[in-house]
Structure 1
């Protein structure tokens, strides 16, 4: 009893830390799982096996295959076909297409592939498409075992508890109902776009108007600045301003090195707080005329979104030496619908922030871009697959899934063979796998298995189930089932989908045991509910990916997500017991 109470208290502390965002979920789960191990609550063999679980390895292999599949031209080509007709029809067609791809490819990879095409097209206001794009990727992900890491996590937990009955298409019946109903709802609740002016029609904006952050100055003949370096002239470290680029005749110098020698007629482009113009007036022979930087500078701008696994999260551009790290300078930051102002180098970056970068010639050669950014540009960082490679890749994935679904080989064997095929075809370089290997997800899932095991073996999960049973006794097994769904849904809105599934799973299994009911419907309730985070953008990666490009506020997700969450929940609590009786 004492042990179960301590475990329960620890899990409560973990939940509070997750909600408060003290650290990344993977870090918190990892520390608590290690703590349970040192406390002797789990054996060494079980602890280590949690991090080599077959289903978890499948998750990692799927993410690696997604690195190739996101380069498939098929996804972006199809998006152009589906973005036609009325706004309602386009939303429905785009949602169906996204759901289809997300059933077999990581939803983050699908959204990353479609984000540039959807956000930069000019037919329909992107703000009407990007939330449906994110929601549809979730709906598609729940239709198969491999569609989302959450399903595979729940499968791992079920396997560790000896619960059988989950295979590649166990989720498909309920999932397809969710896809059709959810896509129809998004289409019906979308207003037609009659404004005639779309976000994508406008040039990249900084400070509310094109290139509004920039101050342009010219070095006149006879200026004392001529012949001296940038650093010697005191042009570095100006309060509120940063020397971004130098335009010399028809050549753009970017980034500007501290030892760059200033010449007559150089145009110096500063970025930052434009009201600091008086700072430049103190320099002899520097003519400030506050115009835009012109077409040369405009062609040098790139918009990116901070990725979930980025090393920049919770750090400032100055802290990481952004210019050296990426051969680019930050000239604008947008967070949702808000443009951040002030000294941009001192702003802590967050997942989903949209950055306007003035990039140097070496920008796209940097190997760290894919891990840190989603580029909103028509020119991908990696070349698109050729027609031959495209069909080989898609065909190989279909073959691996087909053989696994018929029981000829295991899913792990199929995915492992597929990854080896991609490596052999030189479509998946070792360097790319190393840079984008999902270490955080590996730690999170492995630690989740440890914590779930400890909650079960210590009796902590049973304590919660006993209390729930006493409260819901008038409603019987159906009341317990609904309570498991609602508890998991609340957790996924407060923390993350994987964390919610890990915390709710042992409680769900114990709740089923209280009523001597089959565990499978309760387990599936956890899986589906953990993927029902439609309200809070920080709760799901794809929401953060579309938030800034769509200029969304949290209230936009709450408004659009509330009817989706209600419809999704009703379908789950009605159809899961029909497909999988208690």
Structure 2
């Protein structure tokens, strides 16, 4: 029963990941701990997985990327790519994003372009942001360092075979797949919604929540008599009173103490609320907030705010800023802002104090969309040194003159020595969750091998595809990975699918490399829904998209991508 108990526990893990009720890091670490407790894997073997050289290479790359993402090159490109005819500008944006994402963290690339696209007026941002996100994925599949997913697969491959994948081993399949899919994406970009900033009938504005103080002279006076119907650019949408909503609000409705007034409209006209005595904007005097700058941000996938409310985290103390409004994709949020659980990808409009830029947790929690606040950038010399050093590391690793791990370690040491990056920043941005997920997943894979669960899987896959051949099994492994990446995170999908693909290759007695590549490319094939990939969540609210927008564009992209992978991979990596 031991193999079946292991397989059952992994099925439970998958269900928990799909439900979203348990964070991946907690789920993977817990299962690895249970396997250790029941003797499916011993202590030394499990600890070795957390120090896997390929996993260490991934962590080093992410830490070096903290310096690379502050290069002024990305900002310079973002200012020059969107000139000329809209179709040509879209093609330039997609091409540049794909090339940069082949070597840089695709989250950093999307973050660099996100603000410039959101602020410019020439082309509707909704026509550009999904292509930006998809192009970053397509660029990432072309090299080992292009996406964390490829490096995760490399970790599993090293553990299973004892050898690492080459920097450009993904390119022979990845480049033609990316080019073919980019052409389809450019064609389908015209089908994206056209949400221009000046389209007032389509404008999705923020919600402003203001509380009526107990001693406010506005109490007992009607909405019309208070002048709340003639605001410049703002509209009183609803009143929250003692746990119930009053909507629409009648002109003769009289205010009561502790009412929460919810406004919508042009948030740039938020100063209109200053003239009302005894009216607090999210629990603070409006005068104090409105004397500061307005900054628009997107909650990042690294943020500690996810699934918490503003009241839970004491947002104002944490960031020296007040939240003026929240929006999520194309959906209007209702109720008090302070009680809304936040999600990765939410747009927040912040009224920031002068101390906002001094907070060191800004980069970890937010991507900047607009406002006067800018992240500190590398100087010209620092940028040249960082980009040159990184290019040298890649070139030496490609030529087999210096292992990638060694080169990245030396580069990180140099960046620390020259104070391009600090130890404090490394501590704040260290990817603990990813390290825990992959280390635990490697331990789980080892437990599957030790318990015989991997052999049971291999026999099952062989039985399932015995009448159809190895190519059908290859397609099955790819489609399984694709399904997982659309329902859980891409890295978790790779971690769950790799042992199955490896076991299948062994069952058929063929070279496992095409199956390894099927997992790598399948785990990056997240095009249908926005919740499985961090760059999709980054563009979801700024583009004011609906889930159907991703599906409408993503379906032909996913079909094209999958067909190209399934045809080209066996040609380059024969069974």
Shorter-chain TM-score category?
0.7 to 0.9
Say which is worse superposed, 468-477 or 530-539, in terms of deviation.
Answer: 468-477
Equivalent residues in 2 for 1:116-265, closer than 5 Å: 116-162=115-161, 164=163, 166-191=165-190, 198-199=196-197, 208=204, 213=208
* Aligned twin of 2:23: 24
What is the DSSP-based 3-state SS (H/G/I as helix, E as strand, rest coil) of the residue aligned with 2:297?
Answer: strand
* Aligned twin of 1:471: 464
- Structure 1 pair 379/445, CA: closer, same or farther in 2 (3 Å)? farther
* Aligned twin of 2:362: 369
Task: Tell me how far 1:382 sits from its aligned partner.
Answer: 2.8
* Aligned twin of 1:403: 396
* Aligned twin of 2:84: 85
Residue 449 of structure 2 corresponds to residue 456 of structure 1: yes
Task: Tell me how far 1:552 sits from its aligned partner.
Answer: 0.9
Q: Which 5+ residue runs of structure 2 have no aligned equivalent?
A: 220-233, 241-248, 259-264, 275-286
What is the DSSP-based 3-state SS (H/G/I as helix, E as strand, rest coil) of the residue aligned with 2:298?
Answer: strand
Give, in whole Å, the separation in 2 of the partners of 1:433 and 1:31: 26
* Aligned twin of 2:505: 512
Give, in whole Å, the separation in 1 of the partners of 2:158 and 2:120: 45
- Structure 1 pair 192/134, CA: closer, same or farther in 2 (3 Å)? closer
Task: Tell me how far 1:572 sits from its aligned partner.
Answer: 0.8
Give, in whole Å, the separation in 2 of the partners of 1:128 and 1:380: 26
Give, in whole Å, the separation in 2 of the partners of 1:20 and 1:502: 18
Give, in whole Å, the separation in 2 of the partners of 1:192 and 1:528: 26
Task: Tell me how far 1:207 sits from its aligned partner.
Answer: 9.4
Q: Is 2:486–2:532's contact at 8 Å kept on the other side of the alignment?
A: yes
Give, in whole Å, the separation in 1 of the partners of 2:9 and 2:548: 33
What is the DSSP-based 3-state SS (H/G/I as helix, E as strand, rest coil) of the residue aligned with 2:70?
Answer: coil
Give, in whole Å, the separation in 2 of the partners of 1:469 and 1:525: 17
RMSD: 2.8
* Aligned twin of 2:271: 293
Deviations 1:44-82 (A, max 9, x none): 211001111111111111111111111111112112222
Deviations 1:545-574 (A, max 9, x none): 110011111111111111111111111111
Q: Is 1:318–1:346's contact at 8 Å kept on the other side of the alignment?
A: yes
- Structure 1 pair 194/567, CA: closer, same or farther in 2 (3 Å)? closer
Give, in whole Å, the separation in 1 of the partners of 2:362 and 2:353: 14
Give, in whole Å, the separation in 2 of the partners of 1:472 and 1:193: 39
Q: Is 2:192–2:549's contact at 8 Å kept on the other side of the alignment?
A: no
Give, in whole Å, the separation in 2 of the partners of 1:214 and 1:206: 21
- Structure 1 pair 274/300, CA: closer, same or farther in 2 (3 Å)? farther
Give, in whole Å, the separation in 1 of the partners of 2:44 and 2:422: 33
* Aligned twin of 1:310: 303
Give, in whole Å, the separation in 1 of the partners of 2:144 and 2:192: 37
Superposition TM-score, scaled by structure 1 size: 0.85
* Aligned twin of 1:4: 3
Deviations 1:351-378 (A, max 9, x none): 1111111222212211111111111126
Give, in whole Å, the separation in 1 of the partners of 2:532 and 2:144: 21
* Aligned twin of 1:574: 567
* Aligned twin of 1:561: 554
Give, in whole Å, the separation in 1 of the partners of 2:108 and 2:372: 16
1:384 pairs with 377, 381, 388, which one? 377
Residue 322 of structure 2 corresponds to residue 322 of structure 1: no
Aligned length: 524
Residue 507 of structure 2 corresponds to residue 496 of structure 1: no
Q: Which 5+ residue runs of structure 1 have no aligned equivalent?
A: 218-229, 239-269, 284-289
* Aligned twin of 1:266: none
What is the DSSP-based 3-state SS (H/G/I as helix, E as strand, rest coil) of the residue aligned with 1:319?
Answer: helix
1:536 pairs with 529, 537, 542, which one? 529
Say which is worse superposed, 334-343 or 542-551, in terms of deviation.
Answer: 334-343
Give, in whole Å, the separation in 1 of the partners of 2:412 and 2:386: 10
